[in-house]
Amino acid sequence: MNGRDRDGEGRARSARPRDGLGRPLAYGAAGVERQPEGVVRTPAGTVEEAQRLLDAGMPFHAHEVFEDAWKSGPGADAPLWRGMAQLAVGLTHAARGNAVGGARLLRRGAAQLAGVRKAYGMDLPGLARWAGELARRVEGGAVVDAAVEAPRLRGGGL
């Protein structure tokens, strides 16, 4: 055994607590509860839970919600949820101060959403505009507060 934390199925899973942006904290520190993996939600439930987490300044956790939808939902919906996960993790990197990674993922997520037709009430063109604008600002040196910059999933990006 290599001493890595593992879940019940043997997958690597760090037991270290994490902050609201998913960064590992020291063992024993008070952290933010992680999102449970493998939760199957309706598309509306996915959007609602992700919005709640984004509004709370926890885009890393919202990314995990989108990732669950991507992995558990119909294959036809995978591009939507993958693109949304990329937007959320792009916001995560931007809020962590990683301008290059944040901008790259925001643009990748927006591009992923370009061909998506079934959006479950989300404003995909507005989210793409939000992502492009935030990517430009981050590359220009903007400091990002994840809660302040959280997009409105239904209704125009910002």
pLDDT digits (tens, 9 = 90+) for 61-87: 999 999 999 999 899 999 999 999 999
Percent residues over pLDDT 90 in the chain: 70
Q: Is residue 49 part of a domain?
A: no
Q: Tokens 């609602």 map to which residue?
A: 48
- Cα 130 to chain centroid distance, Å, stands at 14
The answer to whether residues 128 and 115 touch, using CB atoms and an 8 Å cutoff, is no
Whether 1 shows a pLDDT value over 50: the answer reads no
Query: pLDDT tens for residues 104-124?
Result: 999 999 999 998 989 999 999
Structure tokens of 154? Answer: 């239904």
Burial of 33 (0-12, 13-18, 19+ CB in 10 A): exposed
The token pair at 26 is 């020291």
Q: What is the pTM of this model?
A: 0.84
Range of the domain at 145: 59-149
Domain contains 101: yes
Q: Looking at the domain assignment, is residue 145 inside a domain?
A: yes
Q: Are 150 and 127 in contact (CB under 8 A)?
A: no
| Measured distance CA(133)–CA(109) in Å, rounded | 13
Q: Which amino acid is at 123?
A: D
Structurally, the chain folds into a number of domains equal to 1
Q: Mention every residue, 6+ apart, whose C-beta is less than 8 A from residue 104.
A: 90
